[in-house]
Amino acid sequence: MHNFVYNGNPGRVIFGQGTISRLREEAERLGIQRLLVLATPEQADQAAAIAQKLGDRSVGLFSKAKMHTPTEVTAEAMEVVTETRADGLLAIGGGSTIGLGKAIAFRTDLPQIVVPTTYAGSEATPILGETENGRKVTKSAPSILPEVIIYDVDLTMTLPFTMSVTSGMNAIAHAVEALYARETNPVTCLMAEEGTSAIAGGLPVLQQDATSVSARSDVLYGAWLCGVCLGSVGMALHHKLCHTLGGMFDLPHAQLHTAVLPHVVAYNRAATPDAMARVNRALGSTEPARGLYELSSRLGATMALKDLGMREDGIDAALDQALSNPYWNPRPLHRQPLRELLTHAFHGIAPL
């Protein structure tokens, strides 16, 4: 076995059905007296209902979280933190809300409780991606990592199937890149393969029966494992491209990751044979890039960036930005094959 380093991030995970009932107990355990609840506008009512479980420990609801964590929204939320004298944060929702909580915690070091309602997986990472002036920048720090994650399968039962698909594929992207990251290690690889397998197995079941508790549980479990992978090792080309495209064109986060992932896997395939073998085992496929593309397509995901709102004349501008400060990648980055990658993703063409 090769030498390796594994860093396990701290954090408490509560997983199951009905676990939201332990919310007040967890706030008490952390010594939080004044929790500010965070949500998107679409989930404001759900967040308000859950906040009632806190009683007088809930001091307000900020429901303006937005995709890609724009800094101007964070600035507005920081004013509410000051006004309410909050000593803790409760993020209820998906990646947008979780990102806002992380952004506030990064600035204040307030403790966070996260209640995911999608399969984003970002709740398990000490990584924050913020957007300012059309550029998305990531940072990592211990204060960004939530102290407690409450996974309640019941809260995912009404997640629309289309969102379940792209949210789950977004989580798989974390695991796939963890398999060939520079800091990859045997422990992370085990979680990455298991997480990918759980999601890839659960989503087709949900396509037939969106109310399947066991499938919802499998996908949520897989999302947690994939998030741990993202938080334990660095990422590579896929995440750099998606951060660039998302920040520049305000493309929907999970759908963007779903569409781009098969093409990046095709780009890196020859340079990472061991990782690709794990992806094939997890998917039950014989070719990883095609396996990811066909799985997403069968589940009804949009696979063309043009259908997500990207302009074709933005391909070269995106490459300029991505290559100006690239992430490490197992295969060297060359402009022409990367341009072909983005062109295929733009049109939704199956990877070669």
Please write the tens of the pLDDT for every residue from 269-323: 999 999 999 999 999 999 999 999 999 999 999 999 999 999 999 999 999 999 9
Q: How confident is the model at residue 184 (pLDDT cuts 50, 70, 90)?
A: very high
Q: How confident is the model at residue 4 (pLDDT cuts 50, 70, 90)?
A: confident
Cα atoms found within 13 Å of the Cα of residue 234, Cβ hemisphere only: 13
Please write the tens of the pLDDT for every residue from 186-239: 999 999 999 999 999 999 999 999 999 999 999 999 999 999 999 999 899 999
Q: How confident is the model at residue 2 (pLDDT cuts 50, 70, 90)?
A: confident
Q: Is the pLDDT of residue 1 over 70?
A: no
Percent of the chain with pLDDT over 70: 100
What pLDDT score does 276 carry?
A: 98
Average pLDDT value for residue range 174-192: 96
CB distance 91 to 153 below 8 Å: no
Average pLDDT value for residue range 132-161: 94
Please write the tens of the pLDDT for every residue from 28-83: 999 999 999 999 999 999 999 999 989 999 999 999 999 999 999 999 999 999 99
Q: Is the pLDDT of residue 122 over 70?
A: yes
CB distance 140 to 127 below 8 Å: yes
Long-range contacts of range 136-143, CB-CB < 8 Å, 24 or more positions apart? 136/68, 136/243, 136/244, 136/246, 136/247, 137/243, 138/243, 139/106, 141/106, 143/105, 143/106, 143/109
Average pLDDT value for residue range 248-270: 96
Q: How confident is the model at residue 173 (pLDDT cuts 50, 70, 90)?
A: very high
Residues of 123-161 as b/e, b for ≥16 C-beta within 10 angstroms?
Answer: bbbbbbbbbeeeebeeeeeeebbbbbbbbbbebbeebee
The domain made up of 161-347 has a fold known as Dehydroquinate synthase-like, alpha domain (1.20.1090)
What pLDDT score does 3 carry?
A: 86
What pLDDT score does 116 carry?
A: 97
Domain ranges of the chain: 12-156, 161-347
CATH value of 12-156 in 3.40.50.620, 3.40.50.1970, 3.40.309.10, 3.20.130.10: 3.40.50.1970
Strand 127-132 to 58-62 pairing = unpaired
